[in-house]
Structure 1
Amino acid sequence: MDAKISTTPARARTDVPTTPPPSGTPSEPDTGPGTGPATGPAISPAAVRKLGLALSAGTLSWAASIFVYGSQAQGFGERVGDLTGLLFQLGIFALLAVQIRTRATGISRFARVMLKVELVLLGLAAVWSLLHGVLPDGLQDGPVMQALDVFWPVSMLGMMAIGIKVALAGRWRGALRWWPLVAESWAVVTVPTYVLFGDSVSNWVGGFHLVIGYATLGALLALRPGLTD
């Protein structure tokens, strides 16, 4: 029998099951900071804009209270300061949400943990602001409230540390790399001013620092969300 050589390619096998890639194996390369395998950015530009506006709005409300009533007001002015301070703290939560989703402080375990620790510190400070703003006068200064009051300055110092880490990590670009450091120097600038010069100067310094620092940071997030990618 004569042997014949066929040049027709073999048909593809249809009886062999397709094996899915192992779990955890990326189907597409990671394209940069803040992105996951084939999932796109960890947070959308629209979300960054909204959170940035929340930061600016909360900051401006507290700054307005400081300009009108001062930082050491009593009575009604004190309660306004407490509750607008709470709005500011909610704005800081919005900032932390962006920083966590974009890993602004870096990708190491320490960089991630420091943001979560700050959430706890800020949460306790926010509880103080809320309670101090709504409780009757006789309950505003009990032992529990005095303990919670400590977390206000501690949370701001924590934000200062985060600002330094954001600048060193360099994952945020342009002005957004450095503006958190400017914004989060509020306690470092305002507290010594109060100690040295009293309310008459520190109220203006603290209010304007909020506008230049945190309110502007929120505006930058709203206008240039791509700098957090």
Structure 2
Amino acid sequence: MTIQHTPAPARTASPTPTPPGEVPAFRRHGLTLTAGATAWAGAIAVLGFDGPELAQSVEHTGSGLFQVGLLALLRVLWRTRALGEGRLARAALRVETALVLLAMASTVGAATHLDDLDRLGWALLDVCWPLSMAGMFLLGIRTAVAGRWRGVSRWWPMVAESWAFVVIPTLALRGEEAGRAVAAAHLVVGYAVLGLVVARKRQ
């Protein structure tokens, strides 16, 4: 009788490869962000911010897709502990997620023309949109400071998440035409590229 012994796999063995056809989690999240940012950029470039009702609905729908991408990005920040391991980092991500979700409710109202900014509830939801964007910028700064993401992924969140701080002054100082051009370009260069960077992350 022959007895065969199969050696135990070494601890340094490579992890099981991703099955064919299955997309790694970070790739899904990153491509969701890229798709959302590109959709909103296209809507802004073609339709602007203040067009007829139908155009506004399409633009708001694009911004809603972008917000879905933000949730995907926040999920990756959480899973990779990009802001650090502490309670404050986790609390910041929870607060930002809540702000994005509330901003999404405002976006749905705007896209369907059901919102009424003269009512307190809708006005508060509307405020969550700029607050969420400001929060993303702060998370970008913290990601760079924490240094848990390396290379271009350490700095690109801060570049992408400066969107509101670049676009709003441009709209105020240079008007609608310049503002929409800068808004669309910044979304592509910032968030759409960030999505591709995130899609390549392994940990």
Relative contact order: is structure 1 or structure 2 higher (C-alpha 8 Å, sep ≥ 6)?
Answer: 2
User: Which residue matches 1:197?
Assistant: 174
Question: Which one has a bigger Cα radius of gyration?
Answer: 1
Among 18, 24, 45, the alignment partner of 1:46 is 24
Structure 1 unaligned regions, length at least 5: 1-44
TM-score (norm 1): 0.76
User: Which residue matches 2:193?
Assistant: 216
User: For 1:102-141, what aligned pairs fall within 5 Å after superposition?
Assistant: 102-136=80-114, 139-141=115-117
After superposition, give the CA deviation of every residue in 1:50-104 in whole Å (9 maximum; x if it has no partner). 0000000011000000001102223111111111110000000000000011111
* Shift of residue 135, structure 1, vs aligned partner: 3.6
After superposition, give the CA deviation of every residue in 1:107-150 in whole Å (9 maximum; x if it has no partner). 111111101100111111000001211145xx543412222111
Identity %: 44
* Shift of residue 195, structure 1, vs aligned partner: 0.7
Is residue 2:75 matched to residue 1:93?
no
User: Which residue matches 2:137?
Assistant: 160
User: For 1:14-93, what aligned pairs fall within 5 Å after superposition?
Assistant: 46-93=24-71
- Report the Cα distance in structure 1 between the residues aligned to 2:118 and 2:165, rounded to whole angstroms: 28
Say which is worse superposed, 72-81 or 58-67, in terms of deviation.
72-81
2:197 maps to amino acid = L
1:147 maps to amino acid = L
User: Which residue matches 2:15?
Assistant: none
Residue aligned with 1:225, SS: coil
TM-score (norm 2): 0.86
1:216 maps to amino acid = V
Among 110, 113, 126, the alignment partner of 1:149 is 126
- Report the Cα distance in structure 1 between the residues aligned to 2:91 and 2:201, rounded to whole angstroms: 24
Residue aligned with 1:150, SS: helix
Count residues in correspondence.
181
1:51 maps to amino acid = H
- Report the Cα distance in structure 2 between the residues aligned to 1:219 and 1:73, rounded to whole angstroms: 31
